Structure 1
Amino acid sequence: MSLFRALTCAHSVPPGEPQEGQVRLAGGPHRCAGRVEVFHAGRWGTVCDDTWDLAAARVTCRQVRCGPALWAPGAAQFGEGAGPIWLDGLRCNGSEAHLAECAGHTWGEHRCNHAEDAGAACADSSVPAPPQVRLSGAPDRCAGRVEVLRAHLWGTVCDDTWGLRQAQVLCAHLGCGPALEAPGAARYGRGAGPIWLDDVTCTGEELDFFRCGHRAWGEHNCHHGEDAGVICAGECAVRLAAGPHLCAGRVEVLHEGRWGRVCDLGWDLSDAQVVCRQVGCGRALSAPGGARFGRGSGQVWLSDLTCAGSERHLGQCPAPAWGSSTCGHEQDAAVECAGEHGQVRLAGGPHRCAGRVELLHLGRWGSVCGRTWDLAAAQVTCRQVRCGPALAAPGRARFGPGEGPVWLGQVRCTGEELTLDRCERRPWGESGGCGHEEDAAAVCEGQLSTWDR
């Protein structure tokens, strides 16, 4: 028997007192989640997160007699500990009976501080808690970042495989009506905590979101910059149509199950601010009227809005009764929102669905190098600007050279990415010497996407 096992099994230790090498989880929501603390030389201390991983958490969960390890956070996720930092550089294979059996450490030797304390979250069958789901990061309860509760900890969902089918099941699960959009890339801000689900696959027939397929809980290859989101119809749903990118366009609202327009009488930046916030596109830049992005069709639902700018959705703004406007569609209201980097538009072409590919980053529009540009990259672009399938991927500045920076170089897409900036590429602004004479372009099938009908 090893010295460690002899110490932990010794009968001379009074019941209830900690034993040498004992582990506990502190600062968490229940006994099976928290900061990892180890008892050594008569004192409780912490573990450094250098090399800390799910295998080490697996050993910890077994040692504290909890269920399987779900998450292995570092960076003092459960608060900073006190006292010594007992262990650093652990190399566990996951089968060890105790943390002290893992290789790579000497008691008390470390290069850390308590801001690097390791944690673990384990399943706990003694505190049953069915998984829950909510939307965060938006003022409307039916839009936002998808967050899931597991083991009493809220975490996020990776946008790999995330699409309208998954969003449809989730919106129905939440009682928020049909899904309108399934944005990824942390449209509603980066979450915190674990990334609980990845590679979610739904048939669309599920009545419960948690009946969709996915990787094992906590297994993923993502970061919080890839958090998934949804926009459900909900109450007074809003969408932007016929604009050059996702955060600009004609304002359309859903009422009584039908999409209609907003009249530009009284339309101003405060009204636009409510819309931009509601669709997750940041602050409002302008509030154009006069059917800037084309005339819509159907009912003109709202007119003479007097929003303060802080409302959760347009339906909370003072206005005459729904449908009472006599405006024509030549007065359709629109917005242009700041959005985030990664916005895409097609410029210099014959219509909004063909042209030079331009992206917004750090507040500036720039182009894309065409050296590795192909139809798969154009497919991602056409989907992002809501223009249907890609027909061609011309390079060599087919629609004229752009201005400003060449933001992306060496772009290689599979065609399945949600947004162009998620394709394999050089870092922003590193174009590999590309000039505007090599600007990439895309020609898409046309303007009649499902968003613009």
Structure 2
Amino acid sequence: AAASTQTPTWASHSGLATPRAPLRLSDGPHRCAGRVEVFYENQWGTVCDDHWDMEDAGVVCRQLGCGTALSIPGAGHFRAGIGPIWLDDVNCTGTEVALSYCRTKGWGKNNCHHGEDAGVVCSGNLRLVDGPHRCSGRVEVMHDHQWGTVCDDDWSFPDASVVCRQLGCGMVVSAYGRAHFGRGSGPIWLDNVLCSGTEAALSECLARPWGVHNCDHGEDASVVCTGNIIRSTLGEEWNGPGRCAGRVEVLHHHHWGTVCDNGWSLAEAAVVCRQLGCGTAVSALGSAHFGQGSGRIWLDNVNCTGTEAALSECQARPWGSNSCDHQKDAAVVYVNTSRQHTLRLVNGSSNCLGRVEIFHDHKWGTVCDDTWDLHDAAVVCRQLGCGMALLAPGSAHFGPGEDPIWQDGVHCKGTESALTECELSSWGEHNCAHSEDAGVVCSGNTRLQRPGRVSQDGLC
């Protein structure tokens, strides 16, 4: 929403002059995300988003005991509210203990409509610690006013996916145990966490009672998420084995947008490739080399040293501030020497669904569907950078392959980073026919656009 053109006449709010007005977040996925509403004169009302920023959001999250502010979604993201608009031109320093202690125009004074209602996404009682960026690290939860860790007993891909969702960190890449990001300290709050993967918050999952466990900090659970701030439109090879390319896109305020090529160089491309786990950058291209994107141009004049763990750590103009059009969309080309290129999905409508084929002894072959399930499919999707596993069809759902049949009786826990880390039979040993070839359907959260193709939604 456009900021007010009038000079605000700030109300003097202090802990003595103004009551600590109750606060809530409405219409969000959990209690720590949603439209901001305050209670005044016995009625709930909204807050206008004029001048609304992360300092204001931080006060909201603190007042609600919801951790730190992650984002301030654009107007209308959480649906328009009803009733009075109680506050406008909120201006917090970020240190206040309640939103009603911040400077505003005064109760009920505004020049807004409900299409401008402010929203907040908070981290809740959850954080990731000691990782390379905020979307990877040791899982810690807040309980009884103290941060503590989670034991890795039964820790799996569905549990990690809930963590990534709750923190606004996109899709899960890995679910680690054994203090992968170092040992925590303090209480071990949760053990034997059992999520279905659809919960909005980790606190909704089944687990032992708070503080009941049989673990030590050498078993602290960890998570690596995609970060949900970057993709390179992704997955298809171009111009030779292991060589991939695409337009760079970033997520901000829940909307994907592009990056302008002003100052775009190999240093920035290297960060993109590192963040996506895509190998070594060989080219940093501009001028919409792989086609023009759509929507917002989120970043311009990005300036990385090349050592950053995420593009968001690089210097750049403020989000959305640019002097570009989509004819200047930035792109990358990289060489991927990872295990991703020993696995592929074929005969589907995109690279993120199809018959599973693995490369062994210089030849592609299939996998038998004996014992094939969603845990196995989850590993395939993760290895290919294709998001979450949605289905694990068998019986040659995507058509029969050709010899050889390389694997039978695959058994994954679901947390492995590659199919070859799962329990496998000896190569080529099976009692199957190609009518039993295994398949996978992934959510397709990341993809690399083949030159000349129009970017598609990524959902398979």
Tell which structure's C-alpha radius of gyration is larger.
1
Q: TM-score range by the shorter chain?
A: 0.3 to 0.5
TM-score normalised to structure 1 length: 0.47
Higher relative contact order (CA 8 A, sep 6+): 2
